[in-house]
Amino acid sequence: MRIVLGVGGGIAAYKVASLLRLFTEAGHDVTVIPTEASTRFVGTATWEALSGNPVSNSVFDDVHLVNHVRLGHEADLVVVAPATADLLAKAATGQAGDLLTNTLLMAHGPVLFAPAMHTEMWQHAATRANVETLRGRGAAVLEPASGRLTGADSGPGRLPEPQAIFDAAMALVQGRSDYQLPLAGRTVTISVGGTREPLDPVRFLGNRSSGKQGVALAVAARNAGATVRLLAAHMEVPAPAGVEVQRVETALELREAALAAAADSDVIIMSAAVADFRPAEVSDTKIKKRDDTADPVITLVRNPDILQELVEKRNASRAGSGQLVVGFAAETGDSQGDVLAYAQAKLQRKGCDLLVVNHVGMDKVFGQDSNAVVILSRAGSEPQEASGTKTEVSEAIIRRISFELNHVSPRA
Ligand code: CTP
């Protein structure tokens, strides 16, 4: 496929190098047209090297090739990223002062704008009107992602992640012109990793959770356009870029963070391995072994069930009734019941909307890169199986969550 990639003059231009890589690695022939302003952020040498094609934004270069007409005509797809307020305005009013705007006027195929700008610019009536005009003419304009902007503030205006723009572009080419990222405008809170319950300043009770599945879920939700908030207990993998991270240590800390985050979350996914018990007493000083006293005995007390509390809180609040609460179950099965029987019972007991069931054993799931899960729904639909790498499984879970949010009536 022949793709024209227009690059606008915003700080997010650097992220477009990754988008270009995704296009070229998928076998597409990409011609990059950077605006004059964008070359102050990323130079043309980068685009030439990564695309393998000559790069210009002047209608007076290679005039014999009539690029200002040819590039738009021949393109199977035009993608503009970052689409700045200025570029959206120029496109909406049909200006043709440089090669990119000429190409937009000549485009025969689908056109996708991936906006990035400060929240106030995005929400300004002028930009709203320009976006409406462009959409009205059949162009796809993605909703920008929310999160930290260039300065200290945050809000909608971030460039969607390169993978998200790539997915939207491919969907557009397949004729889905109304395509929006399935979780655009949604806030998804995900608890990940394993809690650590202290015994004394140097010791804790922990578990084998690596956090890989939760992090993969965060990436999939982010790529689906969500604002992602990670409540991160102990993890063996780094938190991904483009998500907000709040560190927690114990089940009680996680509970507090989860209940606070619930106030403005469309989805809460409890993928963390939460300790069911914590030591009844935590010593302020290191517990020493002594020959003159008996060896210590650890007494445990039960931690609150965070998932259950989240469901109760959601059910009690009318405003929150559209919120989707997703639990995870790690089951081994035993002589009393198999994995699915235990999971069904857990789903009913905890009352969450979806329960993702992992079959765990000493060598299965924890820390592994691949996985097989069954998604159970409280509404009683058929159990859905998903398997593959943790990335693939996470994408399937996020697709199911998007479906529930966008197509299933409010809960509770
Ligand atoms: N969970 C929670 N709070 C707890 C324990 C677990 O929110 N105190 C959540 C987990 O994050 C997960 C789900 O509950 O989403 C299921 O956890 P699991 O450990 O499998 O279930 P348990 O309630 O501990 O049941 P069991 O004793 O059968 O293992």
Helix (H, G, I), strand (E, B) or coil at 69: helix
For residue range 213-242, what is the model confidence (pLDDT) as tens digits?
999 999 899 878 889 999 999 999 999 877
Under 8 Å between Cβ of 268 and 231: no
- Which part of the chain is CATH 3.40.50.10300? 187-287+295-407
pLDDT beyond 60 at 31: yes
Q: Name the residue with the closest Cα to ligand 1, atom 20.
A: 329
- Integer-rounded Cα Rg, in Å, for the chain is 25
Span from the CA of 346 to the centroid of ligand 1 (angstroms): 9
Calculate the CA 77 to chain-centre distance. Answer: 25
- Which part of the chain is CATH 3.40.50.1950? 2-173
Looking at 3.40.50.1950, 3.30.460.80, 3.40.50.300, 3.40.50.150, the CATH number of the domain 2-173 comes to: 3.40.50.1950
Element (H, E) at 80: strand 77-83
DSSP string over 191-213: EESB--EEEETTEEE-----SHH
- In this prediction, residue 138 carries a pLDDT of 85
Tell me the catalytic residues.
207
- In this prediction, residue 362 carries a pLDDT of 47
What is the average pLDDT across 130-155?
84
User: How many whole angstroms separate alpha carbon 301 and alpha carbon 276?
Assistant: 8
Closest CA to 78 of 9, 31, 142: 31
Give the helix, strand, coil percentages of the chain, each rounded to 5.
Answer: 35, 25, 40
What is the pLDDT confidence band of residue 48, given thresholds at 50, 70 and 90? very high
Query: What percentage of residues in the chain have a pLDDT greater than 70?
Result: 94
**In this structure, which topology does domain 187-287+295-407 adopt according to CATH?**
Rossmann fold (3.40.50)
Residues near ligand 1 with C-beta < 6 Å? 251, 270, 272, 274, 276, 303, 305-307, 327-330
For residue range 310-340, what is the model confidence (pLDDT) as tens digits?
999 999 986 556 899 999 998 887 888 888 8
Span from the CA of 325 to the centroid of ligand 1 (angstroms): 13
Helix (H, G, I), strand (E, B) or coil at 5: strand
Q: Name the residue with the closest Cα to ligand 1, atom 27.
A: 276
For residue range 60-101, what is the model confidence (pLDDT) as tens digits?
888 777 788 788 888 999 999 999 999 999 999 999 999 999
User: How many whole angstroms separate alpha carbon 167 and alpha carbon 165?
Assistant: 5
Q: Name the residue with the closest Cα to ligand 1, atom 4.
A: 305
- In this prediction, residue 73 carries a pLDDT of 87
Span from the CA of 305 to the centroid of ligand 1 (angstroms): 7
For residue range 349-394, what is the model confidence (pLDDT) as tens digits?
999 999 999 877 645 555 666 688 999 999 888 889 998 888 889 9
Helix (H, G, I), strand (E, B) or coil at 94: coil
pLDDT beyond 50 at 309: yes
- In this prediction, residue 366 carries a pLDDT of 56
